[in-house]
Amino acid sequence: MFEWQRVVTWRGTAVLLLLLLYALIITSVSQKSMTVDEQGHLFRGIAYVRTGATHFLWGHPLLASSLSALPLLTEPTLRLPTDSAVWQSGEWEIASDQFLWQINNNPLRLIFLGRLPTLWLTMLLAALLYRWGRELKGKKVAFLALALFAFDPNILAHGGLITSDIAVTFFMLLAIYGFWRWAALEQGTNRPIMSLLLVGTGIGGAAATKFSAAALVPILGLLGLVLAVKRRSWQPLLFLMAAGVMGLLTVWAVYGFQIRPFPAAAYWDDFVWQLDYFSRPHGAYLFGQFAETGWWYYFPITFLLKTSLPVLLLLVIVLAGLVFNARRRVFVLGSLNQWVLVGPTAVYFLISLFTPLNIGYRHLLPILPFLYLFFATNLPFLTIRRLPVPLIFALWLLGVAVLAWPNYIPYFNWAAGRPENRWQLLSDSNLDWGQDLPALARWQNEHGVPLYLSYFGTAHPSAYGLNFTALPTWEPGPEQIPLFRQTFDPQNPAPGFYAISVTNLQGLVLGDASDTFAWFRQQTPIARIGESIFVYEVAAAGLPVDVAFSGLRPAELAPELAATLQSNDVRVRWFDSRTSLIWPASGGWWAVAADQPMNASLQPLVQTGETFTVADGHQQLLRPIFTSPDLNGQPVPMGETAVFLGYQEVQPDQPPNQFSLITGWQVAQATERPLKIFVHALDATGELLGQWDGLDVDPGTWQPGDVFVQLHQFAVPEGTAVHAFAIGLYDGITLERLAEPVIIRRELGEE
């Protein structure tokens, strides 16, 4: 009975730790939006699993992506954009967006399903860690190692994401565990096959998951050489060579034993892509500074800032014990158990000092299992007030994990300073990886306010229920406003609520526009959403003013002209002064670039008051005076959105088959529909002779009462006679007409 209770106690405790690990991950990632890399991994995986496509090059092998895609095979209606041009050209960025957000229903379900294999791999990794710890030095060591792993905020952050970091960590641990098992338990026996399979599968799985698995070559090479010298035998090196061959076969198997144009050609295509990628400069961020090539000390500092204090304390305790204990030092140098833990950690960490890709603590995940086993095997099992030291650390770590929940990606330890200043320390996957759209949506629902949003990520904010106006963001970001219609002025933001991803706030991914949100860096946010999105409130400075822009953005308006407006509350309209005019209902201004000359046909409709021109003449600010245009016809409502005011046929010097019409319109209500005007030239039988489609006044900025005119120029076949025009409004996407068209009979000159 006593033995059974002991078994239940230790095995039950291990099971409890695994269940807590599962619960912490599943409850945290279920509250998080898709992070930056997940879309690419999921799409490439399902494209390969479903169709065998390997032409979407990204510098990542396909194993982890394919594993994440497997649960998606349970979706019977799942579609891939195989008929899209970007599928054929291998543009995975666009194709993955089409796959996840455009052609399939319920993208959030697909993301959840894709995250499950990583979670299962994390559990398997934890179980393997426990097993090795038990074989190294018993159940107490295994318990501590498992607790260190299960409650590590960085493991919890990435243990449920569709990425390759956990997978490569698992396979690297499996390979080195297999080698240790062969060297420690099977040396001199006739049963090395299982260990050979473990090492070969680990090498191949790691190599087919991430190219950083190349670190296994020096790691296993060093361990094999040390063991060969110690035992004066070539057998360890021969064993590793055999395992390496098995690893290559594993990679080949992952790629379906492809033989043309050479074995696993797609794998090497991605490898070449990766080499080219590393040859280019990369952005890195540390303590508010940018660098293209990173810093050698980036990962040591990142490790110190984002590793929990209990783990750092364990590191100090264990190292101090080894340094000041001569017998323990000899043990480290001479024991296989210590070599297989210290060697991988030291070699991998040394390699990290020379990598130019300084973007995240997640690249250090492969060293954590070895560190935790090293700590567990070298920590004295003392008691403090009858509590075992390992239990004290386990409880401390559990407290850290619970307090950090569910925001594990932006986790920093207490030594990193005040929480409100930590956003200035690191960037990207250390802090803001696009994970907090659900929390931002909840905040918006609670406060009931519209948002200006600059989001760093590949997820679609609208899919999480957000109502927003897009601000500048990084180039791959979805749901952006066309740059030439961006209303945001970095020097004088409009009043309202601004939600800005911290990575964009820092400016790391904005390239030459890194200071786009510099104004906000000096402000105090009213809310910090998951520590990755900051919300600011900007107050109005002056009365609202309407400005219609042609060929300019608010941010491009010359400072002296902007000062004339005496307000940051600029209500923007967009028009093209070469072909259209708009008079805002409440008056206001026209801001026109010099390269937007007004068509002579429109000039008779223009009257202006004050006019300001910058010194070099490339911009003008004009106050238009509205007078009702001289138009033929009577007002006709076009649905509930606009009213057709009439038309004017312009007769400049032009061939008889060329036509110029001016139509007038008044806005009845604002709309988000991409509306267009159509003008059809008809013959006596009503057959179409020529047409014009378009609209040069952006309907997305219309306000009730605005009046605008549009110039239409088109041709009809020579020798034909136009008897009538049909004029109307329609939706540019659905092609739905808002109302029956107005028919203008030329011979009668009336409707």
Q: Helix, strand or coil for residue 306?
A: helix
pLDDT at position 386: 60
Give residue 336's pLDDT. 83
First-to-last alpha carbon distance for the chain, in angstroms, is 101
Any residues with CB less than 8 A from the CB of 552 and at least 6 apart, and which? 591, 592, 593, 619
Whether the CB-CB separation of 437 and 457 falls below 8 Å is answered with yes
CA distances from 220 to 181, 352, 377 (A): 13, 17, 21
Residue 751 is predicted with a pLDDT of 40
Those residues whose C-beta lies under 8 Å from the C-beta of residue 531, and which sit 6 or more positions away, are 407, 410, 419, 422, 423, 431, 432, 502
pLDDT of 321 = 78
**210: helix, strand or coil:** coil
Segments of the chain scoring below 70 in pLDDT: 1-10, 186-191, 324-334, 380-387, 652-653, 747-751
The predicted structure's pLDDT at residue 332: 47
| Per-residue confidence (pLDDT) for residue 748, from 0 to 100 | 43
What does the domain layout of the chain look like in residue ranges?
9-34+116-282+291-401, 432-538, 545-624, 636-745
Q: Which residues of 681-698 are buried (b: 16+ CB within 10 A; e: fewer)?
A: bbeeeeeebbebeebbbb
The CA-atom distances, in angstroms, between 265 and each of 43, 109, 175, 214, 646 are: 20, 33, 24, 18, 65
Edge-to-edge strand list for the sheet holding 675-682: 688-694, 675-682, 724-731, 742-745
- 8 A C-beta contact, residue 174 and residue 369: no
Q: Which CATH number fits domain 636-745: 3.40.50.1000, 2.60.40.770, 2.60.120.10, 3.20.20.80?
A: 2.60.40.770
Q: Can you give the pLDDT at residue 191?
A: 65
DSSP letter assigned to residue 697: B
Dist CA 129 CA 374 (whole Å): 11
User: Tell me, what's the pLDDT at 327?
Assistant: 52
Q: What is the C-alpha to C-alpha distance for residues 332 and 75, in angstroms, rounded to an integer?
A: 52
CA 713 to chain centre: 43
